[in-house]
Amino acid sequence: MRPVRIVVDGRMLAWTGIGRYTTHLLAELAELDGSNEYLVLLRREQAATWRPPGANVGAVVAEAPPYSLAEQRLLPGVIRRLAPDLVHFPHFTVPIGCRVPFVVTVHDLTMQRVRNVVGFAPARRLRYEVKFHVGRMVARAAVHRARHVLVPSRWTADQLAAAFGAPPGGMTVTYEAPGVLTARPEPVTGVGGRFVLFVGNAYPHKNLQVVLDALGLLGPGHDDVRLVVAGRPDAFQRALQARVASGPLAARVAFPGAVSDGQLVWLYRHATCFVFPSLSEGFGLPGLEAMAHGLPVAAARASCLPEIYGEAAAWFDPFDPRSLASVLASVLDDPQRRAALVAAGTERVARYSWRATAEQTLDVYRRALA
């Protein structure tokens, strides 16, 4: 009898959030499960350099970009030829034509809840709206056809139940975990002194405007405090940069762009505080990673963040810049509060592990196969 064959969609391994989730999950599954066979779907350029984490893990080329027509047309045939017992889609990019038993991980519903169309030209807005509604249809189908749905927080499970009528008994919360970077610190040019750090993209739901407004409201004694926004430049970040450049905070906000692991380590070590103002997250990994590196976190009391961070963050109203300004001032000025937040963050981070995530996921596989 051949071993159980599980196909894992790895086409997004190069992405930050979903890619990190899939990478850590595969590494832990390779250690936990030596009896099943795992085949990972990869784009051609990924397959050339990817190293399987275990002897029972292999790669299969699937040249179908996520969110594409090729994904819907070609991927079902690729999967069918592999004759898997189960497929794990780590995102809701599940082909409608897939007739093989599968489980799906839904990290959040931001793409189904938030329209990021600010500044779009009419033609681009129309394309976005079409993709928005198609994506919502695909996500609904994935949730209802899956043998089981994995979610990274109870908040996401509640959102799925409300949006798509997903049955609570068909969902399992598998919390994710932060990683600790081990790269050698590399200084970031143009960054120094006291600064508040944000890491991520500048999509509208990330709510960075409230941080800019709060920075302008910080009282006397905080004129030297800067904001550093580290992340890959895109249309949203460029629009934010343009607004900052023409305003009174031009000299107090730095955009170093995409940073290396070494530069990120340096930023974590030299920042005074990490700020996470997002209005919609499925797990909130950036704040936990900051905690893992000994940085106090100020977070928006919104979406899943209170569930994930507990009492380890300094909380603010994400719609009130004065609330954030007050929190930032207290963290910046009070060494004892910073130390208490760092200690609470270290304790909170210890609750999460990729091994536990993989153990729960493997249990879901077994139930789905049964």
Instruction: Express each pLDDT in 270-297 by its tens digit.
Output: 999 999 999 999 999 999 999 999 999 9
* pLDDT level of residue 120 (50, 70, 90 thresholds): low
Q: Please give the helix or strand (H or E) that residue 132 lies within, else none.
A: helix 122-145
Question: Does the residue 29 lie in any domain?
Answer: yes
169 and 226 inside one domain: no
Cα distance between residue 187 and residue 292, in whole Å:
20
288 and 326 inside one domain: yes
27, 53 in Cβ contact below 8 A? Answer: yes
Question: Does the residue 188 lie in any domain?
Answer: no
CA atoms within 13 A on the CB side of 270: 21
Instruction: Express each pLDDT in 126-172 by its tens digit.
Output: 675 666 666 778 888 889 999 999 999 999 999 999 989 888 789 99
Q: Please give the helix or strand (H or E) that residue 60 lies within, else none.
A: strand 57-61
Q: What is the mean pLDDT of the chain?
A: 92
Q: What is the mean pLDDT of residues 199-220?
A: 94
State the CATH number of the domain containing residue 146.
3.40.50.2000
> Between helices 354-369 and 17-32, what is the axis angle to 10°?
70
| 194 or 69, which is more confident | 194
Cα distances (Å, whole numbers) of residue 37 to 30, 33, 60, 138, 163: 10, 9, 13, 28, 35
67, 93 in Cβ contact below 8 A? Answer: yes
338, 146 in Cβ contact below 8 A? Answer: no
Residue 211 CB neighbour total at 10 angstroms? 25
Overall domain count for the chain: 2
| Six-digit token string for 155 | 């908040």
171 and 214 inside one domain: no
| Six-digit token string for 263 | 């530069």
Q: Please give the helix or strand (H or E) that residue 17 lies within, else none.
A: helix 17-32
Contacts of residue 220, defined as CB under 8 A and 6 or more positions apart, other chains included, come to: none
Query: Which regions of 99-194 does DSSP assign to beta strands (E)?
Result: 102-105, 148-151, 171-173
The amino acid at residue 42 is: L
173 and 294 inside one domain: no
Cα distance between residue 45 and residue 33, in whole Å:
27
205 and 118 inside one domain: no
* pLDDT level of residue 112 (50, 70, 90 thresholds): low
Q: Residue 325: which domain range?
A: 195-349
Question: Does the residue 184 lie in any domain?
Answer: no
Q: Among candidates 324, 304, 328, which has minimal Cα distance to 316?
A: 324
Cα distance between residue 143 and residue 265, in whole Å:
37
Question: Does the residue 190 lie in any domain?
Answer: no
Where is average pLDDT lowest: 190-194, 294-298, 315-319? Answer: 190-194
Question: Does the residue 226 lie in any domain?
Answer: yes
pLDDT given for residue 136 in this prediction: 78
134 and 201 inside one domain: no
Q: What is the mean pLDDT of residues 178-205?
A: 93
Residue 217 clears pLDDT 90, i.e. is over it:
yes
The dihedrals phi and psi of 74, each to the nearest 5 degrees, come to -100, -35
Question: Does the residue 304 lie in any domain?
Answer: yes
CA atoms within 13 A on the CB side of 81: 8
pLDDT given for residue 199 in this prediction: 96
115 and 73 inside one domain: yes
134 and 202 inside one domain: no
123 and 205 inside one domain: no
Question: Does the residue 39 lie in any domain?
Answer: yes
Where is average pLDDT lowest: 13-22, 126-135, 156-165, 317-326? Answer: 126-135
| Six-digit token string for 34 | 């030596």
Secondary structure of 97-124 as H, E, C letters: CCCCCEEEECCCCHHHHCCCCCCCCHHH
* pLDDT level of residue 209 (50, 70, 90 thresholds): very high
| Six-digit token string for 291 | 């905690």
Q: Write the Ramachandran bin of 6: left for phi over 0, alpha for psi from -120 to 50, otherwise beta.
A: beta
Lookup result for tokens 């704040």:
287
69 and 169 inside one domain: yes
131 and 15 inside one domain: yes
Cα distance between residue 86 and residue 221, in whole Å:
59
24 and 167 inside one domain: yes
Cα distance between residue 197 and residue 229, in whole Å:
6
Residue 122 clears pLDDT 90, i.e. is over it:
no
Q: Among candidates 82, 83, 85, 29, which has minimal Cα distance to 53?
A: 29
Question: Does the residue 182 lie in any domain?
Answer: no
pLDDT given for residue 168 in this prediction: 79
Q: Is the dihedral of CA 331, 332, 336, 342 positive or negative?
A: positive
| 331 or 111, which is more confident | 331
226 forms bridges with which residues in the sheet? Answer: 195
